Chains A and B, each alone.
Chain A
Amino acid sequence: DAKTTQPPSMDCAEGRAANLPCNHSTISGNEYVYWYRQIHSQGPQYIIHGLKNNETNEMASLIITEDRKSSTLILPHATLRDTAVYYCIVGHAGGTSYGKLTFGQGTILTVHP
């Protein structure tokens, strides 16, 4: 599976958009980009995933560059409850892969009042 690189920390003002970048320059053609977050002392929470088209759900938007070497997770109106560690991973959607999640260091997002 391709490796990912994320900034160690970011700050955002409450109510503003939080844009979290991720580099995955070695991603292969059939690997998806997945985003998770983990709030302190809680289990990880799946946010969104995509292959090459931009995706949006009730939590966030995912923008993947045309060459698929990087992506950005957008939280459109960040709240204090969005303060968490955000993880970007890449992996195959199915087939024989059983989906062992391996998080890197992630990005610590701190949302300020």
Chain B
Amino acid sequence: DGGITQSPKYLFRKEGQNVTLSCEQNLNHDAMYWYRQDPGQGLRLIYYSQIVNDFQKGDIAEGYSVSREKKESFPLTVTSAQKNPTAFYLCASSPDRSYYEQYFGPGTRLTVT
């Protein structure tokens, strides 16, 4: 089955620790995205990548970092510099030239205490 996987589903960390969220896709999509969603809120774009070894900041990139070494993988690191890291994190991918047609993973719910 083609799709996007994110792991883990739930993640708990202590304040001050960096944490990396996994995102893998086997849809052969060039573009990948990371969003954050807070309770009752819409999506906010953190980072996106349109091609391997290239990525761009979204609207709320501060305190986050990404890498795109392989087409299939786009991990997100939530650093200790992120002031409010507790949120629902969603990874998505889209086919080239259809950027609004995005396929999402199941999400990772991160809780930092």
Contacts and interface: CB of A to CB of B under 8 A. Distances in A.
Nearest to B99: A99
Interface of A: 32, 34, 42-46, 49, 89, 91-95, 97-104
A34 B50 contact: no
Given A98-B50, A101-B45, 7 more contacts: A44-B92, A44-B102, A97-B99, A99-B99, A101-B33, A102-B42, A102-B43
A99 to B, nearest CB: 3
A10 B43 CA distance: 22
B104 A49 contact: no
A43 B42 contact: no
A43 B100 contact: no
Interface residues of B, number: 26
A101 B31 contact: no
Contact of A43 (B31, B90, B97, B98): B90
A24 to B, nearest CB: 13
A100 B90 contact: no
Contacts of A100: 33, 45, 48, 58-59
B45 to A, nearest CB: 5
B42 A103 contact: yes
Contacts of A93: 97-101
